[in-house]
Amino acid sequence: MAKEPKPISPLKNLLAGGFGGVCLVFVGHPLDTIKVRLQTQPPSLPGQPPMYSGTFDCFRKTLIKEGITGLYRGMAAPIIGVTPMFAVCFFGFGLGKRLQQKSPEDVLNYPQLFAAGMLSGVFTTGIMTPGERIKCLLQIQASSGENKYTGTMDCAKKLYQEFGIRGFYKGTVLTLMRGTPPGKYPNGFRDVLRELIRDEGITSLYKGFNAVMIRAFPANAACFLGFEVAMKFLNWITPNL
């Protein structure tokens, strides 16, 4: 006799999603560090080579100069931010699916799954930005040699002291906006885009593309593997939750 389908548990999705987020950060953070450093390296002087010639050059130089810990620079911020973000993301997705089901047996169609995914995005926006902002500031600081922030908590404290709560949400439009020198881009995204294209051409918008693509496969695989393992464990210890 076939097992009776169980209703979707948003709470289990929340817990399993959090574990999946931890797995994603641990696997993907080294290449995320490389991506940010490639995107934020200073323009090279005429006749001089750039600081990093590409993804593998950046990886090699970071490893030689800072060791393996350099690749995990600023990881505390995404662990703190990404873990609840993915927890809330999967919670929103599970909730979105459950709200559209009249019974556990209902199979959702693609538009319904799309709608559930949109709900999950609404849940994650407010959590994601502060952690990403702090992470990028720490990663950029390490590559530039500055010592403004001693760590995640120090960065968060100084951001709040200098800019208030808005400091955590500065630059939410594009990744390029994260980690900019305060006051350099008063008009935000438009100023960044104009300067990048004027000084470095359209290819500047794709700096770190290789690192992003290489990171995407193992990081997201680790996230969903972690989610499924955690969900199976939760179903085993709390079948009626």
Q: Which of 196, 159, 156 is nearest to 174 (CA)?
A: 196
The domain of 15 spans 10-41+50-237
> Does residue 5 lie in a domain region?
no
Give domain status of residue 100, yes or no: yes
Residue 30 · residue 72 · CB < 8 Å: yes
Residue 180 lies inside a defined structural domain of this protein: yes
- Let me know if residue 58 belongs to a domain: yes
Residue 223 lies in a domain: yes
Decide if 3 is inside a domain: no
How many structural domains compose the chain? 1
- The stretches in the chain having pLDDT less than 70 are 1-6, 142-145, 170-189
pLDDT of residue 166: 79
List C-alpha distances in Å: 96 to 13, 62, 142, 220, 233: 11, 42, 40, 21, 23
What pTM was estimated for this model as a whole? 0.65
In a domain, 76, yes or no: yes
Tell me if 185 is assigned to some domain: yes
CATH number reported for the structural domain that contains residue 139 in this entry: 1.50.40.10
| Total Cβ atoms within 10 A of residue 70 | 19
Q: What is the pLDDT of residue 15?
A: 92
